[in-house]
Amino acid sequence: MPSLYGTFTKEGQTIEYTIHGEGPAVLMFHGGHSSCYEESGYEALLASGFSIITPSRAGYGKTSASIGRSLSEACRFYAALLSHLEIDGAHVVAASAGGPTGITFASEYPELVRSLTLQSAVTKEWLKPEDQTYKAARILFHPKTEKYTWKMISTISTVFPRFMFKQMFSSFSSLSYTEAGSRIADGDHLTLAAMNRRQRSGEGFLIDLEQTKKITPEQLEAVSCPVLIMHSRFDSSVPVSHAQHAAENMPQADLQLLDSWGHLIWLGHLAEETDEKLAAFYKNLREI
């Protein structure tokens, strides 16, 4: 997948980013444990003639963690990145833990946002400090330990990809592996293994854990652009209640609940449904 890699410095802070393709701009806010090297869902957008700008969000990759002291502060830098690239507007796609960033960006910079798509996105307080998952995440994905966590996951995924896929399945899907059955595509375990080899948490994931609680219904209501919300009915990573909450509070939201096997809506035999619904959304916008 050919791309341009760059860094942008403002006020002593750095944002790294990639640009794929040529055409109308899509600004991609990746999910947790990812970076500007994210690839999920890109192929269909590029085939449809879009370019994709992906900054590493605050604390991920080489992007300065300090811009993440608030969602508004981070979005000020993302807006500056678009200005630096001489892009006067973009379709925004926000995935998973990138949801709060996409919502904040769309609510605070409406002049830059043509549309907002939320994919498996966090839209309200997510993991709470009293949750066991939260406590475990703060240990496993702490900046001092995350390197070793991902090295172990990457190694096992490479050597035993199908085993690791089955072991991780319940963290993505509310279906049992057997129930998911025909929804799982033959190559899903290899795609997940490749994703695991890319993953790092840096300081970003702990920033995400703190900031998901900062999204308010008022911010959702302030989003004035067309909104597409895409979420699997069987998502166990980010419950479907997040999608429903966003739809209830966003004036122009189109809620599309998917039958894909779980959180990773770009995988499985129903992945084409994700691509087709996003393509139809953009086609309708062009016709307005």
- Give the pLDDT mean for 258-283: 96
Q: What are the tens digits of pLDDT across the range 142-189? A: 999 999 999 999 999 999 999 999 999 999 999 999 999 999 999 999
Token pair in block for residue 120: 């498996």
The DSSP H or E segment spanning 10 is strand 3-10
CATH number of the CATH domain containing 210 = 3.40.50.1820
Do β-strands 253-258 and 227-232 pair in parallel, antiparallel, or remain unpaired? parallel
Put the strands of the sheet holding 90-95 in their side by side order.
3-10, 13-20, 51-55, 25-29, 90-95, 113-119, 227-232, 253-258
- What pLDDT is recorded for position 287? 67
3-class DSSP state of 29: strand
Q: Which tokens belong to 203? A: 């300081």
Rounded to whole angstroms, the Cα distance separating 208 from 140 reads 14
Q: Examine the residue annotation and report whether 176 is marked as an active-site residue of this protein.
A: no
Containing domain of residue 85, as a range? 3-287
Q: How many domains does the chain have?
A: 1
Residue 49 contacts by C-beta under 8 Å, 6 or more apart in sequence?
21, 22, 23, 24
Whole-number pLDDT of residue 49 = 94
- Whether residue 206 contacts residue 138, with contact meaning beta carbons closer than 8 Å, is answered with yes
Give 56-113 as a DSSP string: PPTTSTTS-GGGGGSHHHHHHHHHHHHHHTT---EEEEEEGGGHHHHHHHHHH-GGGE
Average pLDDT over every residue of 45-67: 97
Q: What is the pTM of this model?
A: 0.96
Q: Is the pLDDT of residue 129 over 90?
A: no
Question: Is residue 1 over pLDDT 60?
Answer: no
The CA distance from 196 to 256, in Å, is 27
Among residues 34, 40, 96, 157, the one annotated as catalytic is 96
How do strand 51-55 and strand 90-95 relate by DSSP bridges? unpaired
What's the pLDDT at 286? 83
- The answer on pLDDT for 288 being more than 70 is no
Is the pLDDT assigned to residue 223 strictly greater than 80? yes
Q: Is the pLDDT of residue 2 over 70?
A: no
Q: pLDDT at residue 269 above 60?
A: yes
User: What's the pLDDT score for residue 3?
Assistant: 82
Q: Of 33, 13, 24, 74, which is closest to residue 53 (Cα–Cα)?
A: 24
* H or E, element range at 242: helix 241-249
The pLDDT, as a whole number, for residue 212 is 87
